[in-house]
Chains A and B, each alone.
Chain A
Amino acid sequence: MLEVFFLILAFLALLGGVGVIAFRQPIHCAISLLLTLLSLAGIYLIFSAEFIAAAQIVIYAGGILIIFLFAIMFVSVREAEKKKKYIPGWLLFLFFGVLLFLNLGIFIRSTIFEKGKGLGDTILNFGGNTEAISHTLYNYYLIPFEVVSLFLLVAMVGAILMGGWGVKK
């Protein structure tokens, strides 16, 4: 049963991933990425990462993708119809990508993964997935957490600064 769910979600995720690099209009690519993000949220649920699944939907699908849609609507360029969407010689790079997949895939095939322990015991200890994550985050990674908040401040200031770049006063 779990296998069927996983295979359906994996197929949808791969379909969205192919759509991102195959569609012509950026808005179609963004919607296609949304399909991938939602399928990955389902796969996180299978791997008992409920908080990450919720954060995936809220942050990626609700935040990052909306920024992308704003940017696509903001530039609104009508030049994509006649031009080629791929660089010249793209088949060579597609071949390089397939080569990367085969190369890493052979390594994965030849690796023996031990049977996963699962998160059941850890989650039972803390009383929930979110509690377990917060315990790890605030006990062992408090300083990186604060540094990341500083990073977000810098990113916000930088985005505001660069959004006004080149505007004629």
Chain B
Amino acid sequence: MGGEEMIPVSWAIFLSLALFTLGVIGVMIRKNLIILLLSLELMLNAVNLNFVIFSHTHGNTLGQVFSIFVMTIAAGEAAIGLGIIIAVFRIKKTMDADTLKEMEG
């Protein structure tokens, strides 16, 4: 896979941007707490894709190493976030983000 026959870099960056935007929209408009976390994973994947693209463009593997770190952080974040969501569900009996209004002011 040489440098000549590769697809243009901007296509892949547009894909990454579109996925990131979908994640942002999902975090903003959805009510379900689990789907909020799923949208967060979508954003992290878009960032990972960007790292891999620029790793390929610059010709070294630093971006790929960084995307491994991003994956690890995503795993920890999913575990802790779902733990918090399950605790919230036990106490409030709902998954709706709009019903959590204890700190409303």
Interface residues, chain A, CB within 8 Å of chain B?
2-3, 6, 10, 13-14, 17-18, 20-21, 26, 29-30, 33, 36-37, 40, 43-44, 46-49, 51-52, 55-56, 59-60, 63-64, 67-68, 70-72, 74-75, 77, 79-80, 83-87, 90, 93-94, 96-98, 100-101, 104-105, 108-109, 111, 113-122, 129, 132-133, 135-137, 141, 144, 148, 151-152, 154-156, 158-163, 165-167
How many angstroms from the CA of A6 to the CA of B7 in the assembled complex?
A: 8
Interface flags for B4-16 (1: CB within 8 Å of A; 0: not) read 0111111111110
Chain A residues with CB under 8 A of B24:
97, 100
List 9 A–B pairs whose Cβ atoms lie within 8 Å, in order of A's numbering: A10-B12, A14-B15, A21-B35, A37-B45, A52-B67, A75-B34, A97-B28, A113-B13, A136-B65
Q: Is B98 an interface residue (CB 8 A)?
A: yes
- How many B residues touch A, CB cutoff 8 Å? 76
Interface of A is mostly: helix
The contact of A100 among B5, B21, B83, B89, by CB within 8 Å, is: B21
Chain B's nearest CB lies how many Å from the CB of A70? 8
Interface of B is mostly: helix
Q: Which of A43, A49, A152, A166 has the most CB of B within 10 A?
A: A49
Interface flags for B55-90 (1: CB within 8 Å of A; 0: not) read 111111110110111011111111110111111011
Q: Are B19 and A17 touching (Cβ within 8 A)?
A: yes
Q: Are A2 and B67 touching (Cβ within 8 A)?
A: no
How many angstroms from the CA of A36 to the CA of B19 in the assembled complex?
A: 9
How many angstroms from the CA of A29 to the CA of B41 in the assembled complex?
A: 12
Q: Which of A43, A75, A113 has the most CB of B within 10 A?
A: A75
Interface residues, chain B, CB within 8 Å of chain A?
1-3, 5-15, 17-19, 21-26, 28-32, 34-35, 37-39, 41-42, 45, 48-49, 52-53, 55-62, 64-65, 67-69, 71-80, 82-87, 89-91, 94-96, 98
